[in-house]
Structure 1
Amino acid sequence: MKIRNQTSGTDFMLVGLFQYGSMNGFLFAAIVFLFLVAVLGNITLVHLIRLDSRLHSPMYLLLSQLSFIDMMHISNTVPKMTTNFLMNTKTITFLGCEIQTFMFQSLGGCEAILLGFMSYDRYVAICHPLRYPVLMSKKICCSLIMCAWSSSAVNSLLHTLYFFQLPFCGSRIINHFFCEVPSLLPLVCQDTSQYEYTVLLTGLVFLLLPFLAILVSYAQVLTVVFQMSLGKGRTKALSTCSSHLIVASLFYITNLCTYTQPHSLHEPAQDKMLAVFYTIVTPLLNPFIYSLRNKDVLAALRRLLG
C-alpha cells in the first residue's frame, strides 16, 4: 500500500504517435479524420439495426454490439492522444492510465469473444439452417453477449488491479500513444516474468482460442457452401463469411503479435504500428465491411434515407 500511495499521485508521460517532425500536422489531421469517420460509421450501423425491424435478428444484434464496442474502443485512445497534441502536453494521470488500461482490455477481450460468437452464428445459419431458430434464439444470443462482456470485464479488472499495484520507478515515460500493459512493463522495477506468463496465457485464451474456433467453423462453412447447387446462395454465404474473416484476421493477428511476444522482443515502433491497426483501423473498417458487403444493411440504409 505504501508503494501505491507513492505512485498514484505521479503522472505518466506518453511519447505519442506523432514523432515525425514536419509531418505532425498532417498525421494529426489524418487520425482525427479517421476517428470521426469510424465513430460516424459505427453510430450509423447501430442506429440502422435498432430502427429497422428486418435487422432484428441474432446476426445483426451481434453486429450492433461489435459496432458499439468499436466506437468505445477508438474513443478510449484517440481523444486523449489528440488532446495532448493540441495542448502540447504528453501527460496522463496515474488514475487516467489505470482507467484507460482497464477499458482497453475490457473492450478488446469482449470484441475477441464476440467475433468468435459471430462465426458460430454463421456456422449454424449455413450448416444447420433448420435448427437456427433454436440454436441461436434471442435468449441464447443475449446470453452470449452477456458472457462476452462479463468475462472480459472480470479479466481486465483482475489484470488492472494487480498490475497497478506493482512498483513503478525510474522513468515515467511510456513509449506509446496510450496506456497498454506491454508498453508499461519496462517501467516496473521488479521481476515481471511470472506476470508475463499470465499475460501470455490470457492472450492465448482470449485471442488464439476464438481465432482457431473461427477458422474451424469457417472450414465447415466453406465445405457446405461449395456443395450448394444454387449459385446465388453460395455467393451470399461466401460474401458474408469473407467479410467476417477479413475483420477477424486483422484484429486477431495484430493483437496476437503484441500479446504473445516475450517482453524482450518488443519494439516500441512495431508496437505502435500494430496498435494503430487494432485501435483505429479495425474500428474504422468494421462498419463499412459489414454494410457495403451486406444487401440487407444497404436496403435498410436506403429505407432510412427515403
Structure 2
Amino acid sequence: MRVAWLLGALVVLQLLSFGQGARGAEREWEGGWGGALEEEREREALMLKHLQEAMGLPLGRGDESPAGTPEDTGTLEAEEDGQGEEEEVEATATPSPRPSPSPTPEDAITYILGRLAGLDAGLHQLHVRLHVLDTRVAELTRGLRQLREAAGDTRDAVQALQEAQGRAERLHGRLEGCLKGLRLGHKCFLLSRDFEAQAAAQARCTARGGSLAQPADRQQMEALSRYLRTALAPYNWPVWLGVHDRRAEGLYLFENGQRVSFFAWHRAPRPEPGPAPSFPPHPLSPDQPNGGALENCVAQASDDGSWWDHDCERRLYYVCEFPF
C-alpha cells in the first residue's frame, strides 16, 4: 500500500512538472501549436482525474471542467494575478499597527509642568496688561482732576465777570438815572417807557442798581408828580411805584419793607355847596383804593400825581429810583 502511494506521488510530481513545461511552451509557441497544446491539456486533466480517484482525493475545481478552453484558463490566471497584486498593494498601503507605548509617571509630570508654565506665562501677560491699565487710569484720573480744576477756575472767572458786569450795569444805571432823570437830594428818578408787570419792573430797576420809586415824603411826591407830568404830557399814563399791600390787605409798604407814612389816593370830585346843581361823581373815577384783595399794587397818575391801586400783573410804565 505504501509503495502504491509513493508511486502515485511521483506520478503527480511528474505530471505537474510536465504541465508547467507545457504552459511555458504554450506561451512561447502559442501561434503554431494551439491544437497540440489543447490535446495535451485534455490528456493531463484526464490523468489527474484518474490519479485523484485512485488516491481517494476530492475532485478540485479544475476537475469539474477538464475540457476547459485556453481562454478560460487565461482568464483564471489573470484573476489570480490581479488578486495577488491587490493583496500586495493593500499590504503596502496599510502599515502594520504598532502598539503605542503606555505613559510613564515622568511623562505625566512633564505634561503638568508644561501646562503650569503656560499658565504662568498667561498670568504674567495679564499682570502686564493690568499694569498698563492702571497706568492709563491714573493718567485719566490726573487729567480729569486737571479738567475739574480748570472748570472750577473758569466758573470762578465767569462768576467774577458776571459780578463785575452787574456792578458795571448798576453803576451805569445810577449814572444814567441821575444824568437823564430827576435828581432830588440823595435820590435820582428815571422814567422807563417799557410796559412791565410790577414784579418785573422791580427786577429791572434792581438790575440797574436801583428800585421802584419810593417817595419818602410829600415834597418828594410833588417833585415826582411834576417830573412825570412833564415827561408824559399831554397824556395821562399810570406809572408803577414801589408801594404794595401784598403782605396784608390795607398794610401798604415800600419795596424796602418800610411802612408808607403818607398817601395820595385819588378822590372823586365832591359837589360844591350852594344853590347851583352839582353833578354826580364819574363812574370811571371812584375813590381809591377800591380793588380789595384783587388790586394790591400802587401806580401814580401822570396828570395829577394821584395814587391808584391796580392788579400787580397789569403792564404799565414804571419809574426807578437810584441812590446818589
Higher Rg of the two aligned structures: 2
Relative contact order (alpha carbons < 8 A, sep ≥ 6): 1 or 2 greater?
A: 1
TM-score scaled by structure 2? 0.19
Larger strand proportion of the pair: 2
